[in-house]
Structure 1
Amino acid sequence: MSENLFVYPEAVERFAFDWGHLTLTCGPKVNGACKFSAGVVHVPSGQGHTRRNHPGAEEIIYVLEGSGEQMIEDTDGNPVTQHVRAGCTIFVPESRFHSTLNTGSEPMKLFVVYSPAGPEEALRELPDFRLVLPPHD
């Protein structure tokens, strides 16, 4: 693998789902990053992903555009939901269940970071997963 230090989303594969898509721009399969992986998530208005967790990994979500409802379970397993908008940084502690719902009228665009790298690969096992390859020059 060549060293891809500068990566644009349109140049790499995309994980598409019924609720939106994730484009990994940093990680073991993209550029050899091993301590974390990261990418851009697009969630159309009215859409969102259901409750999930990433065993053994923490996640950071930064809202670039749009607004919605973010749920993260507390230490007792109770769901805590808060309205979030552009500029909000969300921390999902290790292995905690969480979900995202776009309640706004515009698409939500999120930048996500997983540490350690790898939990995003489990998304390939979801029933609505579709791999979208980048266009060839």
Structure 2
Amino acid sequence: MSNMDRIFVYPNDVDNFGFDWGRLALTVGPEVNGAKHLSAGVVFVPPGQGHTRHNHPGAEELIFIIKGKGEQMVEDEAGKPVTRQVGPGCSIFIPESRFHSTLNTGEEAMEIFVVYSPAGPELALRELPDFHLIPAADL
């Protein structure tokens, strides 16, 4: 990959992180293109699927719904889960270390753009029991 190819990156250009609930195409990050302060990518969640409640200690997250609809849970300051219906165009800010989860309640795959700041939380996903790498050539 040339330096400019690392600047303009599509989800199918990179190996994807696969899980039982969907996949993540990490398109921005230190190991992808040298980003120093954030990482980002596109999450694909099939109908009826979702990721379980989790948090990212020491990092904030931005979730932007590109396509599809679902339920987004984010804990409030007191740790109480707050769930909202989300769809295309909705931005969800996840404060540092706050627990959250996403469920696709629609009939089509959700496409979600995520940003982590600072970079790093996405690497912990490799340690999950259902993690598998999906080579870009297989997408």
TM-score, normalization: structure 2?
A: 0.95
CA RMSD of aligned residues (A): 1.2
State the AA in 1 paired with 2:14: V
User: Which residue matches 1:30?
Assistant: 32
State the AA in 2 paired with 1:40: V
Q: Structure 2 unaligned segments of length 5 or more: list them.
A: none
1:2 is displaced (CA, Å) by 5.2
Q: Kindly report which structure 2 residues correspond to 1:88-127, keeping only aligned pairs within 5 A, or say none.
A: 88-127=90-129
Q: 2:64 aligns with which of 62, 65, 68?
A: 62
CA contact (8 A) 1:71 1:82 kept: yes
- Structure 1: which 4+ aligned runs deviate by more than 3 Å? none
User: Which residue matches 1:47?
Assistant: 49
Q: Take 2:51 and 2:112, find their aligned partners in 1: how far apart are those partners?
A: 13
1:133 is displaced (CA, Å) by 1.5
Q: Structure 1 unaligned segments of length 5 or more: list them.
A: none
Q: Take 2:107 and 2:48, find their aligned partners in 1: how far apart are those partners?
A: 8
Percent identity among equivalent residues?
A: 67
Q: Take 1:125 and 1:83, find their aligned partners in 2: how far apart are those partners?
A: 29
CA contact (8 A) 1:24 1:40 kept: yes
Q: Take 1:78 and 1:24, find their aligned partners in 2: how far apart are those partners?
A: 30
